[in-house]
């Protein structure tokens, strides 16, 4: 059986933020400065099947990470989300939330944000009459 990379990081205490039910650590393959993952301490693949207390703890830690990254990096915005299921692009089967700081001019046109996961549908503003 292959070891979950997130469980391995939790066991090795390779995290910066934590509460009773969740931890947060830098993404090993960041899309930008400060890209952080918030994960439940216990292995479970589906965020929506977590006990509500644990799911709330994950989102509470997202708040803490967001606040700290705003202060430390002076981020101008954030993309925060999850890839729930393989069809949505999840590659590690341990529930997790991406917290991605964004900065003015880090891309030429940030409009559409997460809509760009389906590029043909992202630029809706150009097709409106």
DSSP-derived letter for residue 23 is: E
Decide: 78 and 99 in contact? Cβ < 8 Å.
Answer: yes
Contacts of 96 by beta carbon, 8 Å cutoff, 6+ apart? 6, 37, 38, 39, 47, 82
Q: Which of 21, 94, 96, 98 is catalytic?
A: 96
Instruction: Give catalytic status of residue 96 as yes or no.
Output: yes
Residue 27 to residue 10: CA distance in whole angstroms: 13
**Annotated active-site positions, please?**
96
């Amino acid at each position: 059986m292959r070891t979950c990379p997130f469980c391995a990081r939790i066991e090795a205490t390779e995290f910066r933020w934590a509460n009773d039910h969740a931890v947060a650590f830098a993404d090993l393959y960041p899309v930008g400065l400060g890209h952080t993952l918030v994960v439940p301490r216990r292995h479970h693949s589906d965020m929506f099947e977590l006990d509500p207390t644990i799911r709330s703890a994950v989102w509470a830690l997202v708040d803490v990470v967001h606040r700290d990254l705003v202060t430390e990096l002076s981020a101008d915005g954030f993309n925060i989300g999850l890839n729930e299921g393989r069809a949505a692009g999840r590659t590690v089967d341990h529930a997790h939330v991406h917290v991605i700081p964004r900065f003015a001019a880090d891309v030429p046109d940030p409009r559409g944000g997460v809509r760009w996961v389906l590029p043909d549908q992202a630029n809706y503003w150009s097709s409106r009459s």
